[in-house]
Amino acid sequence: MNSDVATTTAPEQRWDPGDPLDTAFVEDEISMCEELRRGDFTRWRRPGGHELRERLTDCPERLFLFRTGDRWYAGCKTISDYVLDQGMPGVFCSRVYWYNVVGEVTSVRTSDADARIVFEPLDEAGRRAAFEAITPLTELVHPFAKQRDPGREKTSRPGGWLVTEERAAFLGLGEVHIRSYTRERFGPWLAAAEGDVLAYDPACSTGQFLSEFAAVDPARIRTVGQDLSRQMADFAASRLEKVVCGDAATPAVEPGTVDILFSRFLNSEVVSTAQARSILPGLADTLRPGGTMVLLGHSPVLLDTVDLESAGLRVRQTVARQDDFLFQYYVCERGA
């Protein structure tokens, strides 16, 4: 998880990847993935229908919804290969595969403790068809915010973390595919842009994301990073042209000056939904007319099209497709 936090300053803490995942939990996640591939929905069958149910303090972020045409579909993520094969901290990443789609939604309900989606299972052909019907403007909705304890959303700890090269590599694992897609997605955009391009990351973490983007056209792309953590800001300074230690709620750039802004922290387990909605307008104001904001991350984006359009942004894309998977990738443009 990124160290970026948009809260008040607090003493920095030593980097903590979290407790190792329980072996039984990992084995169950692997079994769940295999069952989904086979189309075996036995574990989700109930007398009244099939249901996905998660405690809000466990893994509600695995559940997602999307609509194509007049039909709503339900999905369920399983443990990421980044975790299994490369030791990334956490459980999930942003990627969604065809087998994560389970069926058509019958009902959605929450309580003070859990979230439930009742669904009608589809066969493999139906699940693949629903997956392929997802367009660049289909929203992958993660409606249930993960809670640290009942009634309080889970967020990053204040102040950020200490960082080393080894730890920085772990922090960047969940965005490998996103960084690759970003370079491909904005290559033509950069070619059409005139003059220098100001790229801003208001929660830049190690600086890896923005520096790899700038490598597409280093002669023209000017980079400004910002991070609440002094350690992260110092670390990123070797990768970016300018880095400011500060809260993203107070942007480090002037209003109306940014050509492209990458938001990788208005996400689940980083800030709360209320914080994300509060911070968004100030970030949108940093864009020049016609400027671009991209929202992404390996945990779910907390904002949706309604939030973004309310901040004066035109939503041009909500989903990216790469290889055999999809992931949230919001591309927005500031109006005149």
pLDDT (tens digit per residue) in 112-151:
999 999 999 999 999 999 999 999 999 999 999 999 999 9
269: left (phi over 0), alpha (psi -120 to 50) or beta: left
- The rounded distance, in Å, linking the Cα atoms of 64 and 322 is 19
Q: Which of 4-18, 19-33, 93-107, 140-154 has the lowest mean pLDDT?
A: 4-18
The pLDDT mean for the chain works out to: 92
Total length of the chain: 336
For residue 332, is pLDDT > 90?
yes
Give the pLDDT band of residue 11 (cuts 50, 70, 90).
very low
pLDDT for the residue 218: 94
Per DSSP bridges, beta strands 197-201 and 221-227 are parallel
Residue 124 main-chain phi, psi, to 5 deg: -60, -40
Give the pLDDT band of residue 156 (cuts 50, 70, 90).
confident
Report CA Rg, the chain. Answer: 20
pLDDT for the residue 160: 59
Average pLDDT over residues 316-330: 98
For residue 4, is pLDDT > 80?
no
pLDDT for the residue 161: 59
Handedness of CA 64, 68, 73, 78 (dihedral sign): negative
Handedness of CA 243, 155, 286, 317 (dihedral sign): positive
Average pLDDT over residues 147-171: 78
Average pLDDT over residues 195-219: 96
160: left (phi over 0), alpha (psi -120 to 50) or beta: left
pLDDT for the residue 149: 93
Higher pLDDT: 33 or 193? It is 33
The Cα-based distances of 250 to 201, 208, 224, 321 in angstroms read 13, 22, 14, 33
% residues pLDDT > 70 (the chain):
91
Average pLDDT over residues 163-190: 86
What does the H/E/C string look like for 112-162?
CCEEEEEEEECCHHHHHHHHHCCCCCCCCECCCCCEEECCEECCCCCCCEC
Average pLDDT over residues 243-262: 97
Strand partners, 262: 294
pLDDT (tens digit per residue) in 31-76:
999 999 999 999 999 999 999 999 999 999 999 999 999 999 999 9
Closest CA to 217 of 247, 184, 182, 187: 187
For residue 182, is pLDDT > 90?
yes
For residue 7, is pLDDT > 70?
no
Give the pLDDT band of residue 3 (cuts 50, 70, 90).
very low
Higher pLDDT: 171 or 38? It is 38
Give the pLDDT band of residue 19 (cuts 50, 70, 90).
low
pLDDT (tens digit per residue) in 274-304:
999 999 999 999 999 999 999 999 899 999 9
Q: What is the DSSP string of 56-107?
A: TTS-GGGEEEEEETTEEEEEE----HHHHHH--SSS--S-B-GGGEEEEEEE
pLDDT for the residue 162: 66
